[in-house]
Structure 1
C-alpha cells in the first residue's frame, strides 16, 4: 500500500507541473475534441473516464486495447491577472522612490480585487479486455484543479507603507487507480449495459498564500508541503440502446464524497472536496459519424471556502473516414457564471488500423485555452 501511495503522489505531482493551473471535463482526447461528451458516446477504451457501462461497446470486436498515455491541460486567465500582478509589484517597488506613482499604484491595486486564474490538468491510462462475459478495464486517472484568487484590503488604499492585500493559490487533485467491470443484458428487447468501477483514490491538496506585493507564482509549487490521504471510491454507469443507433447514458462518479484540508500558509487554509457528479447523455452512433450531448445534473464546487463552481452542457460530433482518420468538433456551454463557453476540435489518425494518435484543442474568449493528446492501441 505504501508503494501505491507513493506512486499516486508522484502522478499527482506530475499533473501539477503540467502547463495549466477547474474543469471542462478533461479526460480522454477523443472526448475533448467532442466538447467533453462521452457518457453515451464513449467506447470500451474510454468508458472508465466517462461511464463504466460503455466498456461493453466494442464495435470493432477487439480482444485487447490500451490508451498509454493521455495527457491534457487547460488554463483560464480572463483578465490577464498574472501580468497585472507583475505590473503592480513593479509599481510597488518604484513607489518609495517616486511618490508621484501613488495614484497609479492605487488604481492598479483596485483593479486586482476579486480576480482569479483557474485551470486543470490530467494524466491517465487504460488497459482494456473486452469480452462477452464481463468486459474489464484497468485504469489510472489523475486530475488536478487549481485556483489563484486575489483579495484587496481597503486599508491599503489609504496606507501604502504596509500591504495587507493578498493572493492565494490552492490546488486539489485525485489519483484514481481501479478496475471497470461491465455487463450487457437484454431489457425490453434492447441492449442494457451496467458498469461499476471500484477504485483506490489518493487525494492531494496544496495551499500557498502571500501578500500581493510579494506573491510569486514560482512558490506555488507542491514541493513537500502538500497534504494527502487515501480513500476508497467508485463510479456507476448505465447505458441503454434505445434503437440501433441511439444510446442513452447516465453516470455517477465518485459515489462517496471526500474532503481534505490543505496545509496552512500564512494563516490561511482551504478545503478540497470530491463530490458525486451526475451526468445524463444521449448519442447517435452511425458507422460514419457520431453526434453526442451530455449535461451535468449538478454543479461541481471543488473548494469549500470559495464560491467558484462549474456545471456544463456539452455537444460533440465525430466524422469517421474508413476507421483511418476522425475529425471531431464540440461546444461546451457553461451553466454557471464562473466559466465561459468553449469551442473544441480534434483529429484522430489510425494509418495502420491498430495504432492511433489523437490530438485535441479547446479555446474560449478571454485567454481560455487547452490541449490534449493520447496514444491508442487495439488488437
Structure 2
C-alpha cells in the first residue's frame, strides 16, 4: 500500500509555479509591501501609487509636493496552513503509512504477514501428526502423544505470535484512520502576485494606470469512507482468522491425553477428524468481501493475505482549486465639496481575465504531478468590473482620514472544469461546480503627521472563501514611522473575525532616498508561523 498525503504540498507548489497571469481578488488583501507590513491596511492610508489597489479616491488625497509615482514591480506570496495540514500529512506519509505497510510486507521476517506464514506451516505439521495417529509406524501411544504435543506447542506458539501481531494491526490501523480522518477536509490556501502602477495626483483630476496579476489557491485532502472501511477491515479479517483457531490447541492436548491413555481407535479417529476440520477451515480461511476503489476484495483468501490486500488501490484524494484575475485598471479621482466638506471620490473601471483551475489526484498516485495536467483544467473568462471609493480628511490640520471602498461591484459566477481524478483506475471524473467573484466593502481610518502614520481597516461584510478555506472578514491596524523621509519602519496586526486563531503580525521597512522607494515586508501567525506566513517586496519612484 502506498499513501502519499504529501502530494498536497506538491500540487500546491505546482499550481503556484504557474505563470502568474491569473489572479483572484478575494479576499480583500492587495499584494502591497507597505500595506502588508502595516497589517494589510490602506483604505485611508495608502500612498499615491497604491491608491488603485486600496481606494482610488486617495489619488486626490496626495501631498501637495507629490507629482508622479510609479510602482514597478510589486511581488509577494502568502501561504496559510492554519490546520498544519502539510506537516500532519507528511507525518502520516513518513511515519504512520510505513508502519502499516511493514505489517504486510512479504520481505519482512517479523510482521503480521510472516506470523501468518509461520502458523500456516506449523498447522500443516500438526495435520501431518493427526494423520499419523492411525499408522503402525513403530511408535508407542506415549511417543505419538508426545509428538502430537510438540507439534501442538509449535502451533500454539505461532498462533500466539499472530495474536500479538494482531494487536499491532489493530493499533496501527486505528492510528492511520484517526490520522487521515483528522486531516480530511482541512484546507490550505495561498496567494501570490505581481503588480505595477503609474499614478498622477490632483484635486480636480487625478489618474492612475494599474496592472495586477495574482493567483489564489485552495486545497484539501479527502479521506473517503471506502478507504476507511478498507483499512479497518484488515483488523476485522485478522481477528476472524485467529478466532477460528482459538480452541484447537486445547482440543489437541485433550486428544494427546486420550492417545496416551489408550483410547479406542474409533474415538481417537472421531476426535482427530473434528480437529482436522477446524484446521482445514483455518488453513483455507477466506474473509468477507470489502468494497474498495477497485471493487470487492478479500483481505484473506485461502488462508493467506491476498495480493489485493497487500497492495490495495485507494480512492482518497487531494483536490486543488485555483482562481485568478488579471486586471488592467484605469483609475480616476476628483475632490468634491459635499455639505461644506471636501470629499474625494474615485472610480476604477477594470478589464479582467479570470482563469479557474481544478485538479484532483488520488493519494496513492505514484505519478509525478505535471504542470501540464493542471493547465488542462484551465477555463478562461473575460469580465468588466468596477471599484468605487471615497475619502475625506478631518481635523484642524487635516491629519485624520476616513475612507470607504467597494471593489468588484459587478459580481459574476465562473465555472470550474470537471476534473479527472489522476491515478483513478476507473476513470473517475469529479464535477467542477462554480466559483464566484463578489463585491467587497471595506472602511478605513488613519492619522498621519510628518513622522508617523497609524491606520485601521475593517471589512464591512464577510467575504466568501474561494473553495475549502474559511470565510474572511478582516480587521487590521498598522503603523509606519518615517525617519527624515528616508527610512521607514512598519508594523501591523490583522485578525479574521470569521475564524479563530487566524491572527497575523507583520513587520517591514522601506528605503526612500531621492524619491526611490524599496519596501520589504513579512507576516506570520504569532502562535505558529506555519499557520500563515508571507513576504512582499516592491520598488518604486515618487517625484
Q: Does 1:289 align with 2:452?
A: yes
Cα 1:291/1:117, change in 2 over 3 Å: same
Q: Give how far 1:24 is off.
A: 6.7
Contact kept? 1:168, 1:210, Cα under 8 Å? yes
Q: Distance in 2 between matches of 1:14 and 1:220?
A: 10
Partner of 2:115: none
Alignment correspondent of 2:38: 34
The equivalent residue for 2:415 is: 261
Cα distance in 2 for residues equivalent to 1:245 and 1:234: 29
Alignment of 1:225-244 (within 5 A): 225-243=377-395, 244=398
Deviation at 1:59, TM superposition (A): 1.0
Secondary structure of the equivalent of 2:202? coil
Contact 2:488/2:510 (CA < 8 Å) preserved in 1? yes
Higher mean displacement: 62-71 or 146-155: 146-155
Superposition deviation, residue 306 in structure 1: 4.1
Tell me the residue number matched to 1:195: 346
C-alpha deviations, 1:285-343, integer Å up to 9, x for none?
2121111111001111143x646311100111111111111111110011112760110
Q: TM-score of the superposition, structure 2-length normalised? A: 0.63
Task: Give the CA deviation at 1:275.
Answer: 0.6
Deviates more, 1:47-56 or 1:131-140: 131-140
User: What is the alpha-carbon distance in structure 2 between the residues aligned to residue 279 and residue 17 of structure 1?
Assistant: 23
Deviates more, 1:276-285 or 1:209-218: 209-218
Partner of 2:86: 82
Q: Give the superposition deviation at 1:114.
A: 2.0
Q: CA 1:16–1:216 in structure 2 vs 1: closer, same or farther (change >3 Å)? A: farther
What's the CA shift for 1:115?
Answer: 1.4
Deviation of the 1:108 alpha carbon: 3.1
Worse-matched range after superposition: 233-242 or 143-152: 143-152
SS in 1 for 2:48: coil
Give the 5 Å matches for 1:295-334.
295-303=458-466, 306=468, 308-334=470-496
Stretches of structure 2 that go unaligned for 5 or more consecutive residues are 1-15, 106-110, 113-168, 232-311, 421-428
Partners of 1:12 and 1:204 within 8 A in 2 = no
Taking a change above 3 Å as real, the CA distance of residues 12 and 163 of structure 1, as seen in their structure-2 partners, is closer
1:194–1:26 CA distance, 2 compared to 1 (3 A): closer
1:246 pairs, out of 394, 400, 417, with 400
* 1:47-196 equivalences in 2 (<5 Å): 47-59=51-63, 61-89=65-93, 91=97, 94=101, 96-97=104-105, 100=169, 101-160=172-231, 161-196=312-347
- d(CA) in 2 for partners of 1:41 and 1:229? 33
**Offset from partner CA, 1:257-307 (integer Å, 9 cap, x none):** 02211222132224221110000111112121111111001111143x646
Q: Is the 8 A contact 1:32 1:361 kept in 2?
A: yes
Once the two structures are overlaid, the 10-residue window that deviates more, 137-146 or 47-56, is 137-146
CA contact (8 A) 2:82 2:502 kept: no
Structure 1: 5+ residue runs without aligned partners? 1-10
1:377 alignment counterpart: 541
For 2:517, the equivalent position in structure 1 comes to: 356
Distance (whole Å) between structure 2 residues aligned to residue 234 and residue 216 of structure 1: 43
The number of equivalent residue pairs is: 364
Q: Secondary structure at the match of 1:94?
A: helix
Q: Which residue of 1 aligns with 2:435?
A: 272
Cα RMSD (Å):
2.6
Q: Distance in 1 between matches of 2:519 and 2:399?
A: 24
- TM-score, length basis structure 1: 0.88
1:182-241 CA-to-partner distances (Å, cap 9, x unmatched) read 001233443210000001011111011122233888447743431110010010000011
For residues 415 and 378 of structure 2, the distance between their equivalents in structure 1, rounded to whole angstroms, comes to: 10
Higher helix share: 2
| Aligned residues of 1:207 and 1:270 also touching (Cα < 8 A) | no
Structure 2 SS opposite 1:194: strand
- Of structures 1 and 2, the larger Rg is shown by 2
Name the CA distance, whole Å, in 2 between partners of 1:116 and 1:218: 19
Larger mean Cα displacement after TM superposition, 46-55 or 141-150: 141-150
Instruction: Indicate the residue corresponding to 2:277 in structure 1.
Output: none
